[in-house]
Amino acid sequence: MAHEMFHHLKHHKGEKCQMALKLDMEKAFDFIEWNFLFAVMRVLGFNSTWINLIKECISTASFSILINGSPKGFFNAQRGLQQDYNDNENSGIVPLLTWYQSCSTSSLIDPWPRTQVQITAYLRGQDLYCYVDGSLPSPPKFLEPTKPNPEFLTWTRVDQLVLSVLFSSLSDSILGHVLSSSTAQALWLTLNSMFTSHSQAKEFQVRFQLTNLSRGDQSISDYFGKVRSLADTLAAIGSPLHDKEVVTYLLSGLGPTYESFVTSVTTRSDPLTTHELYQLLLIHENRMSHNLKNIFDPSVNYTTSAGRDQRGGRSYFRGGRQGKG
């Protein structure tokens, strides 16, 4: 229908002027009242600073109308949300809102090295890691002595959103040391500097635990989980273990009851992964448990010996009857 209408307009000749309007379909988010949005955020417990940042994001957008292919005039909206977040200006802003809310509701208390791994993956996925690693520096604040640079305003807006998310992911004990950071990169560098020496001490402590770890009375599942947790801690502070090292730590703490098992594993020509070793340990544990049950369960031994006596008795009886015949 639209094609036919524009074909008619293009080829129709007459004195009367005609025009066509292309209108977007109405969507729910075009009618969201900003006051309602801010009220909901306050009820959900968002910080007033964060609400003001969101207010600035959605209220500073300007629009223009294309007339004969050229934009004419600019005006600001009074309600509704920006729809296109695929451009460089707004990339990742909406996912940041979700991340911030999850941080606020879950009250992250993990140490920074572990939290850093989570945030780094998230920021890379949203193309926002450039704000913390320095690969996207701040543009000049002014193009001319009295003319603000719009690129600087856009960069500052996104940078402050990232900074707010980083602040929200920190525990109170850490937050008090970094509140003076004014950009996402400054906060990131401060945190890394704070935890460099701490991470080295933590690495020594965890490796010492792994070296002296013993299975004791733990099940294989619990013992493996303990070793895996310590290995993950090393990975979180930037010192991951190779799979071969984890296998070595696992075998070293099994104890004398697993001596034959350790010997069979260490003499293999092909190395085992941690998951393969875990499966073999579970099988070995089940077999040991089954063997112990046969040794110490008198009912099993009684049933076995009784069966042998009965078979012998029946054989003797049949032999007696045949002798009489």
Instruction: HSE, CB side, 13 Å, CA atoms: give it for residue 100.
Output: 24
Q: Do 96 and 126 contact (CB within 8 A), yes or no?
A: yes
3-state secondary structure (DSSP) of residue 79: coil
Residue 265 has pLDDT above 70, yes or no: yes
Residues whose CB is less than 8 angstroms from the CB of residue 109 and which lie 6 or more positions away in sequence, other chains included:
171
| pLDDT on residue 114 | 65
Q: Which two tokens stand for residue 127?
A: 């193309």
Average pLDDT, the chain: 75
pLDDT band at 28 (very low <50, low <70, confident <90, very high): very low
Q: Which two tokens stand for residue 112?
A: 């920074």
Residues whose CB is less than 8 angstroms from the CB of residue 282 and which lie 6 or more positions away in sequence, other chains included:
220, 221
Q: Do 253 and 214 contact (CB within 8 A), yes or no?
A: yes
| pLDDT on residue 322 | 47
Residue 247 has pLDDT above 90, yes or no: yes
Separation CA 7–CA 17 (nearest Å):
15
Separation CA 35–CA 78 (nearest Å):
10
Average pLDDT on 103-115 reads: 51
Percent of the chain with pLDDT over 70: 65
Q: Do 35 and 42 contact (CB within 8 A), yes or no?
A: no
Q: Where are the domains of the chain?
A: 1-47+56-83, 88-201, 213-325
Give the closest residue to 113 by CA, choosing from 16, 188, 43: 188
pLDDT band at 290 (very low <50, low <70, confident <90, very high): confident
Q: Do 290 and 300 contact (CB within 8 A), yes or no?
A: no
